[in-house]
Structure 1
Amino acid sequence: MMIGILALILFGLMMMIGGDRGAVSVMSLAGNLLVLSLAIILMAGGHAPLIITGIAAGLISYITLVKQNGKNQKTEIAFGATGIVILLLLAAIFLLLWDARSGGLNEIQAIQEDVMYYYNTNLHINMLQITVCMVLLSTLGAVLDTALSITSSLYEVILHKPDMSRREIYHSGLQIGKDIIGTTVNTLFFAYLGDSLLLFFYLKNVKYTAEVILNSKMLFQGVSAMLFSAIACLLTVPVASAGCMLFLKKEEKKEEK
């Protein structure tokens, strides 16, 4: 009941403050939830998790960027930059999680009474691939936000100063990235910390040593997802800036002709 009330308050504020754009945001959010739900159902049914996640990530990116903000150069470059960054990180994420053997339930989840006695944990699903998919999807939102921030800002810069050189465009993108990356990384950090605060209280009360916590799968799963998201945002800045340098400037030259 309370979830429904909070959802109604959220949608109401989005419509009231955002107007038409708020309505589009609500529809985009509903579309992303639908895509994510279908992806979970398909993965739970035994279909290839990485392929499904790749398709879902593409659809979510398209809905978030193109459907929500319109089809234009800003969103197209942001879409391309997002795809490049996710592909660059995919191998690193897979190799690191494979080496750390961090797939499946962590220590806290595995000892919970309802898991041990009431649920069947033999799901016939590749837990390593599921963990990789989880990290990719958690990274996606931050990358989309960073990519669109860079491309939108550079679009306005070029619009008001069309005589900028490619080098100046690229360095302007890096400068914009420096201004936004600090708050983005802090947002990721506090989102993880806030989500895990109660768990940390539990660990403190049961007297786990610092060595046990630092070497736990539980801590690695959460921190690795946060760090990969931060790394992805950092990589997005030069990739999106390079895309604007190549394509936004090219379009500006076409318009001058």
Structure 2
Amino acid sequence: MIIFLALILIFLVILIGGERGAMSIMTLVGNIVILFFSIMLMSAGFPVLLLILVAGAGVCYISLFYQNGNNPKTRAAFLATLLVMLFLFIPIYIITWRSGSYGLNELQISEDDFMYYYSTDLHINMLHVGIFVTVFSTLGAVIDTALSVTSSVYEVWTHKNSLTAKELTASGYQVGKEIIGTTVNTLLFAYLGGTILLFSYIQTQQYTLEIILNSQFLFQDVAVMLSGAVACLITVPVSIRCIIRQIHHIGSEKKSEVI
């Protein structure tokens, strides 16, 4: 059934997207390969924190440059994504460490499959794994937000290159206001939509509100969702600054050519 659904996806992407759709499939395959080797290296004892930086940069590069080409928009989006993830890396590390939300949660540990069939002695730093999960869960939304902002500002500049940096910044924030609402809602339904069955189980067991709010399983999902929302919000101003720097660089090169 998984293969059948995957074939339907590939067929529809190529049918509707054409050549760009085929490139999207190749980009998806490339990102899956990166994640696969990341898991293998993580299991082999490779430093997870370093792996986050290397694999994250690889995913950003493939998602932006392979699919959209090497141009000012993708370069600005690539730089903005890296800056945002580096900026959020330390807060994510501290919050995950202080909250103790890494590793298996209460419900996973209580399952019979984990107790009798699976070994929990993985010899992997689960704190680092938790950070890896949080960072990569936010990466896709950050890339999408960064490229949307940089593309919009760049297109505005190409049609009216007399605009000042202040006017381009205002245009970028206007675009950010338009997309941030839908992005946050997408993150909300993506993470909470998959936990409906879990909340149904909690309701049948009649857990108190205090237990639910202090539970590890709830915090893990909410932390990822909120981290993604915060990352997308920070991405808007960072992307605007990055694309304006690219535009100024292009303007300087044109002036040098004229001289």
TM-score by length of 1: 0.98
Distance across 2 between alignment mates of 1:181 and 1:3 = 32
C-alpha contact 1:167 1:245 (8 A) present in aligned 2: no
C-alpha contact 1:192 1:222 (8 A) present in aligned 2: yes
Q: CA deviation at 1:187?
A: 0.3
Secondary structure at 1:19's aligned position in 2? helix
Distance across 2 between alignment mates of 1:69 and 1:245 = 19
C-alpha contact 2:48 2:129 (8 A) present in aligned 1: yes
Question: Which residue pairs with 1:108 in the alignment?
Answer: 107
C-alpha contact 1:44 1:125 (8 A) present in aligned 2: yes
One-letter amino acid matched to 2:209:
A
Question: Which residue pairs with 2:149 in the alignment?
Answer: 150
Q: CA deviation at 1:119?
A: 1.0
Distance across 2 between alignment mates of 1:238 and 1:156 = 17
Task: Give me the CA root mean square deviation.
Answer: 0.9
Question: Which residue pairs with 2:45 in the alignment?
Answer: 46
Distance across 2 between alignment mates of 1:114 and 1:80 = 43
Distance across 2 between alignment mates of 1:171 and 1:15 = 37
Question: Which residue pairs with 2:19 in the alignment?
Answer: 20
Kindly, what percent of the aligned residue pairs are identical? Answer: 49
Distance across 2 between alignment mates of 1:244 and 1:40 = 33
Unaligned runs of 5+ residues in structure 2 are none
Question: Which residue pairs with 1:176 in the alignment?
Answer: 175
Q: Give the 5 Å matches for 1:129-148.
A: 129-148=128-147
Q: Give the 5 Å matches for 1:1-257.
A: 2-255=1-254, 257=258
Distance across 2 between alignment mates of 1:208 and 1:111 = 15
Distance across 1 between alignment mates of 2:49 and 2:11 = 36
C-alpha contact 2:192 2:221 (8 A) present in aligned 1: no
Q: CA deviation at 1:255?
A: 2.8
Distance across 2 between alignment mates of 1:49 and 1:75 = 27
Secondary structure at 1:122's aligned position in 2? coil
Describe the superposition over 1:1-27 as per-residue Cα deviations: whole angstroms up to 9, x where unpaired: x11111111111111111110111111
C-alpha contact 2:191 2:221 (8 A) present in aligned 1: yes
Secondary structure at 1:195's aligned position in 2? helix
Distance across 2 between alignment mates of 1:246 and 1:191 = 34
C-alpha contact 1:166 1:246 (8 A) present in aligned 2: no
C-alpha contact 1:147 1:237 (8 A) present in aligned 2: yes
Unaligned runs of 5+ residues in structure 1 are none
One-letter amino acid matched to 1:133:
F
Structure 1 runs, 4 residues or longer, greater than 3 Å off: none
Describe the superposition over 1:160-218 as per-residue Cα deviations: whole angstroms up to 9, x where unpaired: 01000011111211111000000000000011111111101011111111110100010
Q: CA deviation at 1:254?
A: 3.0
C-alpha contact 1:169 1:244 (8 A) present in aligned 2: no
Q: CA deviation at 1:253?
A: 4.6
Q: CA deviation at 1:97?
A: 0.9
Q: CA deviation at 1:249?
A: 3.2
Secondary structure at 1:59's aligned position in 2? helix
Distance across 2 between alignment mates of 1:179 and 1:31 = 30
Q: CA deviation at 1:247?
A: 1.6
Describe the superposition over 1:74-93 as per-residue Cα deviations: whole angstroms up to 9, x where unpaired: 00000000000000000000
Distance across 1 between alignment mates of 2:5 and 2:118 = 30
Describe the superposition over 1:95-118 as per-residue Cα deviations: whole angstroms up to 9, x where unpaired: 011111111100011100000111
